[in-house]
């Protein structure tokens, strides 16, 4: 795979990995939907992400994650689980988009860049959430969650539109 043809999948992978640090399942849903519609090519080993069943499962997970993140006390559990889930989602997103690269390169990129970026974004999100909880007793957490939703939808949505050739 030549460097020019790697630019879009690498960029998309990095942006969606960062989005995974906010919402684990939204970028997986986007990759699944983009793969299903043929807007992006997924790596052979992760082509199952492009199935209608995977897209539906990720859509359901997006809804459940968003609802749970707005529920007092449940949001803390979601953030705790996110410490493992969000970097894994970032790694999966990064790896899946490198269809023409060798599996080793795709895995190294996915784990090294995708997982790390999602993890760093999650640490920032968790720190903001801890500050919100400490200063407002958790009352502001649903508002912070909506801001996170808007950021994830905006950044992820723009990245998906670019990948699909709509922008």
The pLDDT tens digits for 98-126 are: 887 888 888 898 889 999 999 999 999 99
Report how far residue 62's alpha carbon sits from residue 93's, in angstroms, rounded to the nearest whole number: 15
8 A C-beta contact, residue 128 and residue 151: no
Backbone angles phi, psi at 69, to 5 degrees: -70, -15
pLDDT at 2: 64
Report how far residue 62's alpha carbon sits from residue 95's, in angstroms, rounded to the nearest whole number: 20
> Closest Cα partner for 8 from 112, 152, 164?
164
**How confident is the prediction for the chain on average, in pLDDT?**
90
pTM value > 0.95: no
54-99 tens-digit pLDDT: 999 999 999 999 999 998 888 888 888 989 999 999 999 999 988 8
pLDDT at 53: 97
Question: What residues have CB less than 8 Å from 25, skipping those under 6 apart?
Answer: 58, 61, 62, 65, 89
3-state secondary structure of 104: helix
């Amino acid at each position: 795979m030549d460097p020019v043809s790697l630019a879009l999948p690498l960029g998309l992978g990095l942006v969606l990995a960062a989005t995974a640090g906010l919402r684990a399942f939204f970028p997986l849903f986007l990759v699944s939907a983009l793969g299903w519609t043929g807007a992006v090519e997924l790596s052979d080993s992760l082509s199952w992400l492009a199935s209608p069943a995977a897209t539906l499962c990720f859509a359901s997970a997006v809804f459940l994650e968003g609802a749970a993140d707005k529920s007092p006390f449940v949001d803390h559990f979601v953030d705790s689980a996110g410490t493992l889930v969000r970097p894994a989602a970032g790694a999966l997103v990064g790896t899946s988009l490198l269809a023409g690269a060798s599996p080793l390169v795709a895995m190294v990129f996915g784990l090294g860049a995708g997982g790390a970026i999602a993890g760093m974004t999650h640490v920032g999100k968790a720190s903001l959430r801890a500050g919100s909880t400490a200063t407002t007793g958790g009352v502001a957490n649903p508002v912070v969650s909506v801001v996170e939703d808007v950021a994830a939808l905006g950044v992820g949505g723009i990245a998906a539109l670019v990948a699909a050739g709509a922008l």
